[in-house]
């Protein structure tokens, strides 16, 4: 039987140790957004750390759409924000996105030191975990980092523990319990605050729901700018 060594790591203020597989989580909201974007027909999602990088890419590729947030809020001159509800209504089929976010994207760009890099929110967590488990089964030993990009908060940590449970085949953690932990986590509270109208409560429906699909989101690091692509699986 193969050996799986799983490490759950929180935050983006540290170097991530090398691994065979890195799974990067951002439930609220970056990789819920990416998942919805692919479901709406987006071709690929380039990842950048800065607004300036995003502008530079679009200058060369005027048809690319810029999406993301700073402190959770829309970015000036970007086409889209970081709202999965917005993306669920947007006309983005066959488009290429450039995504810049404070946590998930930053963590992913720090996590390129693995053979396989996967990103997810809760919406695609079970499929992502099952795929990583399949990959690990083909190795005599496998090191997996599960990276909860929000430091000190329970939304990504809950999802990380859910993925770990699936990877180990324990089936001890109920999806409904994870959804509850996400809803009551600190990052979620601004969406329930009627005074913070800039945060759409409809986003929380996407962030706390598993959405069936036939793909996982894998990071292709072969280009000068890493990108998320769809990896079709059975």
Q: Please, are residues 125 and 226 in contact by the beta-carbon 8 Å criterion? A: no
> Could you give the domains of the chain?
3-232 (3.90.1560.10)
- pLDDT score, position 1: 47
User: Would the pTM of this model clear 0.85, i.e. be above it?
Assistant: yes
> What is d(CA 190, CA 198) in angstroms, rounded to the nearest whole number?
9
pLDDT score at 146: 98
- At 71, list the tokens: 């402190």
The rounded distance, in Å, linking the Cα atoms of 29 and 142 is 29
Separation of alpha carbons 214 and 217, rounded Å: 10
Half-sphere exposure of 152 (CA within 13 A, CB side): 2
Residue 123, Cβ neighbours under 10 Å: how many? 26
- Tell me the mean pLDDT per 10 residues along the chain, length 234: 89 96 98 98 98 98 98 97 98 98 98 98 98 94 97 97 97 97 98 97 98 97 98 91
Per-residue CA distances from 128 to 59, 61, 182 (Å): 34, 31, 18
């Amino acid at each position: 039987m193969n050996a799986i060594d799983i490490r759950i790591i929180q935050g983006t203020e540290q170097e991530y140790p090398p691994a065979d597989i890195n799974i990067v989580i951002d439930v609220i909201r970056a990789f819920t957004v990416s998942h919805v974007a692919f479901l709406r027909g987006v071709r690929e999602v380039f990842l950048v750390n800065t607004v300036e990088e995003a502008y530079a890419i679009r200058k060369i590729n005027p048809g690319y759409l810029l999406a993301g947030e700073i402190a959770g809020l829309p970015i000036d001159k970007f086409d889209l924000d970081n709202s999965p509800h917005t993306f669920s209504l947007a006309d983005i089929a066959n488009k290429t996105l450039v995504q810049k976010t404070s946590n998930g994207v930053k963590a992913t760009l720090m996590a390129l030191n693995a053979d396989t890099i996967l990103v997810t929110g809760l919406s695609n967590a079970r499929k992502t975990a099952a795929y990583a488990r399949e990959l690990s089964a083909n190795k005599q030993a496998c090191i997996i980092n599960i990276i909860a990009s929000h430091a000190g908060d329970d939304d990504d940590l809950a999802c990380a523990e859910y993925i770990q449970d699936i990877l180990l085949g324990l089936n001890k953690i109920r999806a409904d319990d994870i959804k509850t932990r996400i809803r009551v986590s600190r990052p979620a509270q601004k969406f329930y605050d009627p005074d913070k109208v800039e945060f759409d409560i409809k986003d929380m429906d996407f962030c706390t729901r598993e959405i069936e699909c036939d793909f996982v989101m894998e990071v292709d690091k072969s280009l000068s700018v890493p990108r998320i692509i769809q990896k079709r699986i059975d």
